[in-house]
Amino acid sequence: MSTRHEAGTAGPHHVLILGAGYAGMAAAIQLAARGKRREDVRMTLVNANELFTERLRLHMTGTGQPVARLSIPRLLEGTGARFVRGWVTAVDADERTVRIDDDRVLRYDTLVYGLGGVADTVAVPGAEDHAYTLDSVHDAESLAERLGRLGSGTVVVAGSGLTGVESAAEIAERHPELRVVLLGRHAPGAAMNPRAGAYLRSALDRLGVEVRGGVEVAKVLPDAVELAGGERVAAAAVLWTSGTRAAPLAAAGGLTVDERGRVVTDATLRSVSHPDVYAVGDAAAIRQRYGVMHGTCQGGMPTGVHAAVSIVRTLRGGQPRPFRFGYYHTPVSLGRDDAVVQFTRPDGSPRRWCLTGRLAARYKETVTASPWPTYARMRKAPASGAFWPRGGRFTREAP
């Protein structure tokens, strides 16, 4: 197989962004907008698809509901940024190269690594082979197809975190003919305040979802899951939502990663092993004073913006600044007309306030629909995307 080398580093500074998810798109749009009049920078964005994956809606795709078609190249039109559709197969952080679809090699001066994460199907035997995931549109569509064909039977949703709850609720609402069982180590909504948690559990109950907390799935079989202790729960389909991990590409490419394969960053979001690499979104292990950030869209978009601002600042001869972020909410859909929104402290712990019911469902939909218009706005006014809650004392440097 011959290898095509493209986009060599001679000439303008080449910023290569991998992944056009929530974080990578934020980085690309910011960089395109802020570097518009600069002859000395050019940018390439690589993504598996031309259409933007609204990961926040994959439980809708997984139950056969149509979602908008959002074209990434169209949004980038006129910005001078180049879009490459392709699958990244290797990164060489020492050589500063990225391999795409095995036969193309792109060189970079600065890399923004934003390839996201996937459900951790390797931790439990059989999950990789027998369970569905919501890792991509393709995976979600496969689930939708399976659910549509079942007619009756049990669907097990493994993982009682927020993705598991949203998915179980959506499946139960869309497929009343199916029995939906939600299995997890913790009671769903356990991390919320008592009122929000109770509301969430009563909504699952109303939808007919059978919840079993305090259980550990030990094995996934073709027609069942086996719990620790040996009990089997028969299942015509299993959706795996438990745990997350990043693609092995970063580790294989020589970047320092954590136990989940995420690129370990310094305070400015640069890789601790390769400072010419910024890591953003779910693919990054970013430490704040309250701990390592967990993967969310609310935190991912600011990381992308911060990386782009830092790159432009560095090109002007400045120094990147530390990244600070504090959470502010946990919105959870419970079918299409119901939801619960838990407002949080910057470290993610629940406040007393929450929204429930239709108002919460409207809030959740507004949040879910907001990234794309935000990108369009940032194209014209990049500063409009550069504000986010910094977390105050929760993220201030320790003395």
Interaction site with ligand FAD (CB under 6 A): 19-24, 46-49, 53, 55-56, 58-59, 87-88, 114-116, 134, 163, 166, 247, 281-283, 295-298, 300, 331
**Which is nearest to 99 in space by CA: 90, 107, 108?**
90
Tokens 């218009």, residue?
A: 373
Measured from the CB of residue 49, what is the shortest distance to ligand FAD in angstroms? 6
Q: What is the DSSP letter of 213?
A: -
The nearer residue to ligand FAD, 115 or 255, going by C-beta atoms, is: 115
Measured from the CB of residue 287, what is the shortest distance to ligand FAD in angstroms? 17
- CA 301: distance to chain centroid? 10
Distance, CA of 29 to CA of 32 (rounded, Å): 5
The nearer residue to ligand FAD, 22 or 199, going by C-beta atoms, is: 22
Measured from the CB of residue 330, what is the shortest distance to ligand FAD in angstroms? 8
Measured from the CB of residue 239, what is the shortest distance to ligand FAD in angstroms? 10
One DSSP character per residue, 352-380 reads EEEEEHHHHHHHHHHHHHSHHHHHHHHHH
CB 178 within 8 A of CB 152: yes
One DSSP character per residue, 247-309 reads -THHHHTT--B-TTSPEEB-TTSBBSS-TTEEE-GGGEE-EETTEEPPP-HHHHHHHHHHHHH
The nearer residue to ligand FAD, 49 or 273, going by C-beta atoms, is: 49
The nearer residue to ligand FAD, 38 or 85, going by C-beta atoms, is: 85
Measured from the CB of residue 248, what is the shortest distance to ligand FAD in angstroms? 10
Where b means 16+ CB within 10 Å and e means fewer, 192-229 reads bbeebbebbbebbeebebbbeeebebebbbeebbbbee
Measured from the CB of residue 89, what is the shortest distance to ligand FAD in angstroms? 7
The nearer residue to ligand FAD, 262 or 274, going by C-beta atoms, is: 262
Measured from the CB of residue 36, what is the shortest distance to ligand FAD in angstroms? 23
The nearer residue to ligand FAD, 131 or 224, going by C-beta atoms, is: 131
The nearer residue to ligand FAD, 86 or 320, going by C-beta atoms, is: 86
CB 341 within 8 A of CB 355: yes
Distance, CA of 45 to CA of 47 (rounded, Å): 7
Q: Ramachandran region of residue 287, left (φ > 0), alpha (ψ -120 to 50) or beta?
A: beta
Q: Ramachandran region of residue 292, left (φ > 0), alpha (ψ -120 to 50) or beta?
A: beta
Measured from the CB of residue 192, what is the shortest distance to ligand FAD in angstroms? 14
Distance, CA of 263 to CA of 225 (rounded, Å): 32
Measured from the CB of residue 39, what is the shortest distance to ligand FAD in angstroms? 28
The nearer residue to ligand FAD, 83 or 224, going by C-beta atoms, is: 83
Angle between helical axes of 297-315 and 22-34 (0-180°, round to 10): 30
The nearer residue to ligand FAD, 247 or 340, going by C-beta atoms, is: 247
Measured from the CB of residue 340, what is the shortest distance to ligand FAD in angstroms? 11
The nearer residue to ligand FAD, 102 or 231, going by C-beta atoms, is: 102
67 burial (CB, 10 Å; 0-12 / 13-18 / 19+) is middle
Measured from the CB of residue 40, what is the shortest distance to ligand FAD in angstroms? 27
The nearer residue to ligand FAD, 88 or 204, going by C-beta atoms, is: 88
Q: What is the DSSP letter of 81?
A: -
Distance, CA of 31 to CA of 311 (rounded, Å): 8
Q: Nearest residue by C-beta to ligand FAD?
A: 21
- CA 178: distance to chain centroid? 28
